[in-house]
Structure 1
Amino acid sequence: MIEKMKFLSITGPKKDIDRVVEVYLKKYEIHLENALSELSSVHDLTPFIEANPYKDILNRSEELIKKIGSDNMPAKRKMSPEEAKEILENSLSMLDDLNDERLDLKTKRTHLTELTSQIEPFRSMDFEIKKILNFKFIKFRFGKIPYEYYDKFSKYAYDNLNTVFFECNNDENYVWGIYFVPASLSIKIDAIFASLHFERIMLPNEYEGTPQEAYEALNIQIDEMNIQRKIIAKKIKSKLKKDADDILLAYKILSSLSQNFDVRKLAACTKDKQQVFYILCGWISERDTKRLLSEIKNDPDVYCFIEEINENTTSKPPTKLKNPKIFRPFEMFIKMYGLPAYNEIDPTIFVALTYSFMFGMMFGDVGQGLCLVLGGYLLYKRKKLNLAAIISCAGIFSTIFGFLYGSIFGFEEILHPVWVNPMKDTMTVLYTAIGFGVFLIIIAMIISIINGIKARDIEKIFFDTNGIAGLVFYIVVIAIVLLAISGNTLPSIVLSGTGIGLPLLLIFLREPLTRLIEKKKDLIPGNKGMFFLESFFELFEVLLSYITNTVSFVRVGAFALSHAGMMSVVLMLGKAEENPNFLIIILGNIFVACLEGLIVGIQVLRLEYYEMFSRFYKGNGKEFKAYKNQL
């Protein structure tokens, strides 16, 4: 069912809009519309333009909230917006100061770490670094040389050069060390070492003592900085823990005010003398209207106007579905196809009953049906999945048809069939499926006619393939077919021709007849020859659709036979009559239930969408979105 809607407009002093949002819009389910577009006929309306003062501080506060964690609950006390902003600003300032300290320590630690890594390979040299750096007549070079070149250098060149190489460290690839050379020979020696791929390392003048002493001093400084960073982290954690409740409450209050600010995008402003008023408009359900009006009646700063839906209403009313709880999960199928328009019939209950019935007929088994009922129910209770509830409902009908077929986990000897055994009474099952399909198609046509009446669509009511003309034609043809099959006397040719020919003629001429009733001048707009040609082929397509849609329901019976056949194969493989292999029987039941259950579910949904929805349902409705549910 679709809830009845009313169009409302709320207005009051511009400065009072936040209170109205908090008091009324967050309490009642109201679908807001853009006031400027909805009230386009009203003069002197302007957009509600105002910058959001909470957006910046909320964005900056996100790091605070992440550090506190969403598991904490905010304090329960009143807090003004000004107080909330002050709390967040102070906390952010504290966090920024401490973060700056941490960043400064991190920068210094990075620099010290680089100094440590530079001096580490030279720790074995027992000589003060600063003294070496102050040599005037002797040049020195710290660096590393590939191991293979160092070996050649030691064997063939070292003794013939005026240089001293002091090896400090080595690994499998490099040898670290320092070479000393007279200043007058430095250019020549540097060139020789460069040819040996010596990589020079420039040490800054920041080391005190020997490399080992400098290395140890640097590590001590790094450890001290790590301790200081941990102290700062503890300060931040302690401060946030202490103020967590207030920070969370402040963030919650400002978030709410920020969300309220978004309402301004949908509001309009108007001026009366020196006073500026806001205007909000939208849709509210009929049952909420009285409660809202009675509450607003005592509010001197709020004025509310309720309008009935009529032809002058410019906005398209949103669709809010309201069905009994047992049928609500099937709304999922409706929303997948498209919500019904406000003036359409909600097909949820129709779908729930027909889907479950056809599923049960195609998947009739007491044991497997009960498994679907129990499994779907437990899954729905735990995960709240609509599909699980649908499976459970379909399982109920599967269980019922299981008794009608006399089948429990594929065994057909345990229960006596209340109705028929599909494998033994094949034609009965197929005829019943087609008969049920005929019944559903007629119901779909009747719903289409009702929708046409609600929409005041003359063509859809009288001349459409799913209107009165189409319904009469279909019923007459079905009646003639039933009389012929049962061997009864057929009606006269004149009566049959009238019952078949006249509706087809009305369908063929539906456009000009509609224009005639609506008193439009040109009955056949455009090329008349093309009109008759198109109408002829459309009529031919209509006749085919009646046949194919009806025959399509044969699959309901066919899947009932398929299910019985697959289970007979499982029992044959499990040798149920001789020495039962229960493992094969159990696995076979699981396989059939999963595979065929999935296929049957899809096939039934296909019948709903293509054989029935296509006759009466457009699904072009607009979803009702209450402002309070979007927060």
Structure 2
Amino acid sequence: MAITKMKLVSISTTEQNYEEMLTRCATSPYLHAENASSFVNEENAGKLLSVENVYSDYVNSLKNIGHSIGFEMKAKASIDRTYTQEEIETFIKEVEEQFKVVSDSVESNTLTSDDEVALEALRALDFRAMHDCQYVSFSMGRLPIESVKKLNMIQDHKFIMVKLHATSQYHWICYATANTHLRETRKIFDGLFLEEIKIPTVDSKKIIAEYEEELINVFTYCDERDRLYNLHKYIAVFKDSYVVVGFVPAHDMDKFKKEFEGVDVKIEAHEPSDAPNLTPPTLLKNNWFFKPFEMFVTMYSLPAYNDIDPTVFVGITYCFLFGIMFGDLGQGFLLVLGGLLLEKKLNNKLAGIVGRVGLTSMLFGFLFGSVFGNEEILIPVHQGLFNVHEKLINVMDGNFTMTLLISAVVIGAVLILITMMINMFIHIKHKDWGELFFSQNGLAGFVFYGFLMVAIAGQFVFGFNLLTPTWLIPFVGIPIVLFFFKEPLSHLIQGKGIKPHGGWGNFCLETFFEVFEILLSFITNSMSYLRVGGFVLSHAGMMLVVMTLVEMTGNAGPIVFVIGNLFVMALEGLIVGIQTLRLEYYEMFSRYYQGGGKKFTLISSDN
């Protein structure tokens, strides 16, 4: 419904407490912090906090170690103890040396999940002890199931074998033999097509387990320090004070102050206008119904803090236009049901928009007398409610087509005039008198376009003629002159020179084509709304095809009915949704909306 009002806050403390202050700021769900570089300057004698962040390198080193051995480095929720830089560097050097052997062992084997199971079964024998044996050699691998049967037939073999794991295709085995019989034994297993798997030189899991707890503790400490140092960009130093400046929603100020209880800080609140060099962020505030439509606004551009939030207008016009173009009571009900369920389950804004436009689809579907493409089922209801011969609005009646198209243009004209009024309100708010009085979307454009719409309506509907010099000169001629001289007149109001920068010759030539484009845009923008009527006919025509196919397919009619409705809902719904959004962006936003706002971003999102 509006843009949330902000307070400019300043949080300051001493050098001894600034890290605790910064930690509280970093976890706040209310603070949008400003980079210190945006308000520190020579006039206020402030300085940026410049401290080398060595912890970023520590974090990367620990992550690389974990990656090399297949160990996920994940920080804990809290720190168990603190470490000096010397302790951290010594620990990293130690684990790098220890895990180099583990890394080499991991890289030398490309193991399947079944290989891992077999290796786990062999782990009980101790890999290091197996490699240290002087007179006995060990080997492991997988044998095809057919080779296992042949192995049982070998007599007087000079080896001992154990089965580690089995599947329907392979058996994983480990054999041990004296060094004097190694060559003979290998020859036997080579003939049986043994796929050898290298036995690791060290037990990586055992080594990892020895260091795991300390590794996680050091990583947690370094990660937290790294994130804290990354927030130093928000700290400004003024003499002995360490200051964070930012914006907090006005209604959350009391909650924000409570977050610093127990910390020696000073919090001051000001109006955003007290710091004109800082741009307040934009936080949209809308009710449940219009909240999903914020997505369309932010896709285009956030409104500036001092502008208006167009979300409600977008929500109303989008639902209205979509409902007209996709008018079907039954299909609209499915859109409502499916959209609201998906919104609740997935918290998806687009699904929420689908659910809401389904309501207006139901409304216009009822007025059009259409239920899943059936154009006759609501005739008795319309006759009883509206006292009509058949239906209140018969879209498929050929005599109604011209009325429908003219109505679409009238809807477009009304929306164009409304957007002009919104534009004028914005310029009044910003005291931008040149744009207010002389632009095609300001007062001059409103008079010009409004008069033409009234004159055309009077000529063809009410029978009176306003297209005479008496009316055309003040309501058409003067606005066109104002369009032409908008730039010099705006400069005159601002107290600047009236002469254009490029001289009168260049100005007249360029402005002539600009005014011609303005006049042409009024025509094209109005005609663009013909698509509203066109899609009403398109939707009705597609459903007529579906109902015809249902009648032609006999017993398969119900299946064709369901598939046809789903197909039309998917295809037509997507096209209508896109075309409605196009009308919002190109025909409406272009007349009143500038955007360019800065998103309200919590400092906690940097953490």
TM over 0.5: yes
Report if aligned partners of 2:435, 2:490 keep a CA contact under 8 Å in 1: no
Report if aligned partners of 2:11, 2:265 keep a CA contact under 8 Å in 1: yes
Aligned to 2:551: 575
Is 1:3 the equivalent of 2:4?
yes
* Aligned with residue 323 of structure 1, among 286, 289, 313: 286
SS at match of 1:9: strand
Report if aligned partners of 1:472, 1:503 keep a CA contact under 8 Å in 2: yes
Aligned to 2:165: none
* Aligned with residue 212 of structure 1, among 172, 183, 196: 183
SS at match of 1:262: helix
Structure 1 position 311, deviation (Å)? 7.9
Structure 1 position 277, deviation (Å)? 3.1
Is 1:504 the equivalent of 2:489?
no
Matches within 5 A, 1:7-406: 7-62=8-63, 63-64=65-66, 74=76, 79-82=80-83, 93=94, 96-97=97-98, 100=101, 103=104, 212=183, 226=199, 229-230=202-203, 232-234=204-206, 236-237=208-209, 240=212, 243=213, 251-252=219-220, 254-271=222-239, 276-293=240-257, 301-310=264-273, 313-406=276-369
Farther-moved stretch of structure 1 (98-107 vs 564-573) = 98-107
Aligned to 1:533: 509
TM (norm. structure 2) is 0.77
Farther-moved stretch of structure 1 (253-262 vs 612-621) = 253-262
C-alpha distance in 1, partners of 2:542/2:343? 29
Q: CA 1:471–1:42 in 2, change beyond 3 Å: closer, same or farther? A: same
C-alpha distance in 2, partners of 1:371/1:421? 23
Farther-moved stretch of structure 1 (458-467 vs 485-494) = 485-494
Aligned to 1:474: 449
Letter in 2 for 1:13: T
SS at match of 2:502: coil
Structure with higher Rg: it is 1
Aligned to 2:124: none
Aligned to 1:562: 538
Q: Deviations over 1:493-541 (max 9, x none)?
A: 4234312222222222111111111111243332202212222222221
Report if aligned partners of 2:420, 2:591 keep a CA contact under 8 Å in 1: yes
TM (norm. structure 1) is 0.74
Letter in 2 for 1:315: L
Report if aligned partners of 1:449, 1:468 keep a CA contact under 8 Å in 2: yes
Q: Deviations over 1:276-308 (max 9, x none)?
A: 432322222222334435665x66732333332
Q: CA 1:210–1:628 in 2, change beyond 3 Å: closer, same or farther? A: closer
Q: Deviations over 1:214-245 (max 9, x none)?
A: 969x99xxx99937634x524534764xx4xx
Structure 1 position 423, deviation (Å)? 1.3
Aligned to 2:412: 437
Aligned to 1:453: 428
Structure 1 position 467, deviation (Å)? 0.6
Structure 1 position 618, deviation (Å)? 1.6
Is 1:519 the equivalent of 2:491?
no
SS at match of 1:229: coil
Q: CA 1:255–1:386 in 2, change beyond 3 Å: closer, same or farther? A: same
Q: Deviations over 1:346-365 (max 9, x none)?
A: 11111111111111100111
Q: CA 1:563–1:89 in 2, change beyond 3 Å: closer, same or farther? A: farther
Report if aligned partners of 2:322, 2:357 keep a CA contact under 8 Å in 1: yes
For structure 2, the 5+ residue unaligned runs are: 109-127, 138-177, 191-195, 383-390
Is 1:464 the equivalent of 2:465?
no
Aligned to 2:598: 622
Q: Deviations over 1:197-223 (max 9, x none)?
A: xxxxxxxxxx9757736969x99xxx9
Q: CA 1:566–1:594 in 2, change beyond 3 Å: closer, same or farther? A: same
Letter in 1 for 2:8: F
SS at match of 1:51: coil
Q: CA 1:101–1:35 in 2, change beyond 3 Å: closer, same or farther? A: closer
SS at match of 2:3: coil
- Number of aligned residue pairs: give it: 524
Report if aligned partners of 1:366, 1:407 keep a CA contact under 8 Å in 2: yes
Structure 1 position 87, deviation (Å)? 9.6
C-alpha distance in 2, partners of 1:627/1:446? 38
C-alpha distance in 1, partners of 2:377/2:102? 81
Q: CA 1:382–1:312 in 2, change beyond 3 Å: closer, same or farther? A: closer
Q: CA 1:226–1:413 in 2, change beyond 3 Å: closer, same or farther? A: same
Report if aligned partners of 2:323, 2:363 keep a CA contact under 8 Å in 1: yes
Q: CA 1:352–1:224 in 2, change beyond 3 Å: closer, same or farther? A: closer
Aligned to 2:579: 603
Q: CA 1:56–1:546 in 2, change beyond 3 Å: closer, same or farther? A: same
C-alpha distance in 2, partners of 1:377/1:104? 54
C-alpha distance in 1, partners of 2:337/2:89? 51
Farther-moved stretch of structure 1 (457-466 vs 604-613) = 457-466
Letter in 1 for 2:208: I
C-alpha distance in 2, partners of 1:488/1:302? 75
Letter in 1 for 2:424: I
Q: CA 1:592–1:447 in 2, change beyond 3 Å: closer, same or farther? A: same
Aligned to 1:407: 370
Q: Deviations over 1:531-583 (max 9, x none)?
A: 12222222221111111111211111110111001111111122169767222
For structure 1, the 5+ residue unaligned runs are: 117-206
Report if aligned partners of 1:380, 1:388 keep a CA contact under 8 Å in 2: yes
SS at match of 1:282: strand
Structure 1 position 103, deviation (Å)? 4.6
Report if aligned partners of 1:31, 1:282 keep a CA contact under 8 Å in 2: yes
Report if aligned partners of 2:333, 2:359 keep a CA contact under 8 Å in 1: yes
Report if aligned partners of 2:437, 2:444 keep a CA contact under 8 Å in 1: yes
Letter in 1 for 2:270: E
